[in-house]
Structure 1
Amino acid sequence: MDAHHHLWVRARHPQTWMDPTSMAAIDDDFTEADYADLARSAGVTASVVVQSVHAPSETPELLAVAGTSDVVRGVVGWVDLESPDVAERLAALRAAPGGDRLVGIRHLVQSEPDPDFLARPSVRRGVAAVGDAGLVYDLLVSDGQLGAAADLVGALPGTTFVLDHLAKPDLVHGDLTRWAEDLHRLAAHPNVAAKVSGLVTEADWSRWTVADLRPAVDRAFDAFGPDRVMFGSDWPVLNLAGDYGRWLDAAAALLPAAWGTDERAAFWGGNARRTYRLGGLSDRP
């Protein structure tokens, strides 16, 4: 199971974060049909699609797509967390076509200029409403925001959180000391899991190796253990630094040699299925 990928059609939802020069490899439209063909060829049988822009119209479209897809089983969407009616907005999304596929909410915190964004009372009320609705909150933060993320997770023990991309450790320069300390502080809270995803684009896009990724991934496995980590591709952003098959092979090579069949099955699908409450999906062996 792929716990993290994106879909977009730029005419409907421009990806304003994208630099068409340095990111030419993904300056295109990526649809469910594109993903489904790729996923099947890679042996992926279920996925979670994740929002990519702060646009109220994006989540209903993703839900409608998921509602008719035999691969996309869950949607991590977006709502304005500071709105006073977050609960009502979540209920409206669940009532929309495909609304039963809504499994979580995410905000692009990494792009927020306010370093105290996650500490705002209005934001915390919004995240709490996400948890009260039985949904997961996906944490998209940079490595420098991990401390604030740990404070949020600790303040809302009744909400389930998933850390995206291991908070984007600096794999180019290699100093992971502060990141690792904050990651362990975050992982000390039992209500948070982590996606091993989005790492190749934090390394050297053209020259990364499994060895470049291993220091960060080993620390994440140590911090969260085999029951709170899950595989994600971050496709199509992944295409900036490789392809789906290469990342699958890299992820497999990064798994601890001591892990048995159960731990590996949990990483490849079981943990994501449980965390996002995707009942009825089998673990991938």
Structure 2
Amino acid sequence: MIRVDAHHHVWDLAVRDQPWITGPALAPLRRDFGLPELAPQAAAQGVTATVVVQTVSDEQETVELLTLAGPVAAVVGWTDLTAPDVAERLAALGERPGGSHLRGLRHQAQDEPDPRWLCREDVRRGLRAVADAGLVYELLVTPAQLPAAVETVTAVPECRFVLDHLAKPTVAAGGWEPWASDLARLAALPNVDCKLSGLVTGADWDRWSVRDLRPYADHALGLFGPERILFGSDWPVCTLAADYERVVRTAETLTEALSENERAGVFGGNAVRVYGLNL
């Protein structure tokens, strides 16, 4: 069975800083994380292919990610969506060595001070260029930015969107509304899929249990249906709360009520479809 980890990262601090890694809580992430460390852990869980996702707003990082081999089957990179020549930038990335692995774009919209950044006309113009290039766009947003995501996904129906980490609900605080209602509005749109990822780091890192995560996972599964949910580990960020094996086992437990075919989709088939993987 094809098993795909649809969301992980790698970085080498000697090559590029990760400025988002700040403060004592994130200190365990302030070291290098690479494929030689990830690959055996993924293989031990039956993962046969992965999707590596950008971490910084630097196009050179995307160029480097395109050269990765091993289990990496697709890259979700970065370029400036607001640049007047965004279409040309995307075309140039596709012509780079490994450019055929570029299957999506992402921007850290969660860090933008404007909660309606996604609604800017220059951003939406960039999203149309992403769609024209045959790429997906990944939504990295917080619950407060979900309304803007709904508006933009509606306004750019030609683009395929993927929501990262269920929009980061505040699991540790028991946060529910308006996240739950806004997620329902997003899921009602046919051109968006959702990653079952990042929940463990939204929970209490030291004391979380599957019971804490289940309401959020069940809500997403009920809204999107198992045919639009993709498993992602969010390694190495997940290691703040759980090792790779525990993340996979937790996702398996959260999807245990699904049929065998539905679980096969969540853990592989849906990623193959969304990213057009040749596996």
TM superposition score normalised by structure 2: 0.97
Give 2:157's aligned residue: 157
Q: Which amino acid is 2:184 matched to?
A: H
Q: Which amino acid is 1:270 matched to?
A: G
Give 1:220's aligned residue: 220
1:201 maps onto 2:201 in alignment? yes
Q: Which amino acid is 2:63 matched to?
A: P
Give 2:46's aligned residue: 43
Deviation at 1:153, TM superposition (A): 0.4
Q: Contact 2:87 / 2:133 at 8 angstroms: preserved in 1?
A: yes
Give 1:94's aligned residue: 94
Q: Which amino acid is 1:228 matched to?
A: R
Q: Which amino acid is 1:265 matched to?
A: A
CA RMSD of aligned residues (A): 0.9
Give 1:11's aligned residue: 14
Deviation at 1:71, TM superposition (A): 0.5
Matches within 5 A, 1:28-39: 28-39=31-42
Q: Secondary structure at the match of 1:52?
A: coil
Q: Which amino acid is 1:148 matched to?
A: A
Q: Which amino acid is 1:11 matched to?
A: A
Q: Contact 2:116 / 2:145 at 8 angstroms: preserved in 1?
A: no
Deviation at 1:34, TM superposition (A): 1.6
Q: Contact 1:163 / 1:192 at 8 angstroms: preserved in 2?
A: yes
Q: Which amino acid is 1:253 matched to?
A: T
Give 2:264's aligned residue: 265
* Distance in 2 separating the partners of 1:177 and 1:125: 31
Q: Contact 1:230 / 1:269 at 8 angstroms: preserved in 2?
A: yes
* Distance in 2 separating the partners of 1:217 and 1:241: 17
1:58 maps onto 2:75 in alignment? no
Q: Secondary structure at the match of 1:177?
A: coil
Q: Which amino acid is 1:272 matched to?
A: A
* Distance in 1 separating the partners of 2:153 and 2:116: 14
Q: Which amino acid is 2:17 matched to?
A: P
Displacement over 6 Å in runs of 4+? none
* Distance in 2 separating the partners of 1:128 and 1:200: 33
Q: Secondary structure at the match of 1:43?
A: coil
Q: Secondary structure at the match of 1:223?
A: helix
Give 2:273's aligned residue: 274
Give 1:23's aligned residue: 26
Deviation at 1:256, TM superposition (A): 4.8
Percent identity at matched positions? 54
Q: Secondary structure at the match of 1:212?
A: helix
* Distance in 2 separating the partners of 1:27 and 1:274: 34
Deviation at 1:31, TM superposition (A): 1.2
Q: Contact 1:194 / 1:224 at 8 angstroms: preserved in 2?
A: yes
Q: Contact 1:20 / 1:27 at 8 angstroms: preserved in 2?
A: no
Deviation at 1:246, TM superposition (A): 0.6
Gaps of 5+ in 1: none
Deviation at 1:26, TM superposition (A): 1.5
* Distance in 1 separating the partners of 2:74 and 2:249: 24
Give 1:190's aligned residue: 190
Q: How many residues align?
A: 276
Q: Secondary structure at the match of 1:103?
A: strand
Q: Contact 1:138 / 1:164 at 8 angstroms: preserved in 2?
A: yes
1:126 maps onto 2:97 in alignment? no
Q: Contact 1:13 / 1:55 at 8 angstroms: preserved in 2?
A: no
Q: Secondary structure at the match of 2:233?
A: coil
1:2 maps onto 2:1 in alignment? no
Matches within 5 A, 1:165-180: 165-180=165-180
Q: Which amino acid is 1:262 matched to?
A: N
Q: Which amino acid is 1:81 matched to?
A: L
Gaps of 5+ in 2: none
Deviation at 1:102, TM superposition (A): 0.3
